[in-house]
């Protein structure tokens, strides 16, 4: 069931409504970049060690899955080849 919007929500939406014209769009763009800058400061970037560990884990899992799929593909193709010959 949809919630009814209060008066405060409508006022906020009206205040955030995009201004018409090129100047309004420029202000929106500037505001977007300012907000992006604030959000980027909140990001906790991984350390070099964490990045390397994660990359190695991804590579190992990818190789294991590739090996498994290769074996399954080879086995199934041999089974089909045996059935059709």
Q: What pLDDT score was predicted for residue 43?
A: 93
Q: Which of 37, 61, 45 is nearest to 29 (CA)?
A: 37
Q: What pLDDT score was predicted for residue 7?
A: 56
> With b meaning 16 or more CB within 10 Å and e meaning fewer, what string describes 64-75?
eeeeeeeeeeee
One pLDDT digit (tens) per residue for the chain, 85 residues: 555 555 555 555 555 555 578 888 999 999 999 999 999 999 999 999 999 999 999 999 999 999 999 999 999 999 999 999 8
Could you tell me the residue ranges of all domains in the chain? Answer: 19-84
Q: What pLDDT score was predicted for residue 71?
A: 98
Global pTM exceeds 0.95: no
HSE-CB of 41 using CA atoms within 13 angstroms: 6
**The total number of residues written for the chain in this structure:** 85
């Amino acid at each position: 069931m949809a919630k009814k919007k209060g008066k405060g929500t409508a006022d906020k939406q009206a205040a955030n409504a995009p201004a018409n014209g090129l100047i309004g769009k420029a202000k929106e763009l500037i505001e977007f970049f300012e907000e992006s800058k604030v959000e980027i400061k909140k990001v906790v970037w991984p350390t070099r060690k964490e990045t390397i560990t994660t990359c190695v884990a991804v590579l190992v899992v990818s190789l294991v899955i590739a090996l498994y799929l290769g074996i399954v593909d080879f086995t199934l193709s041999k089974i089909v080849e045996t059935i059709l010959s």
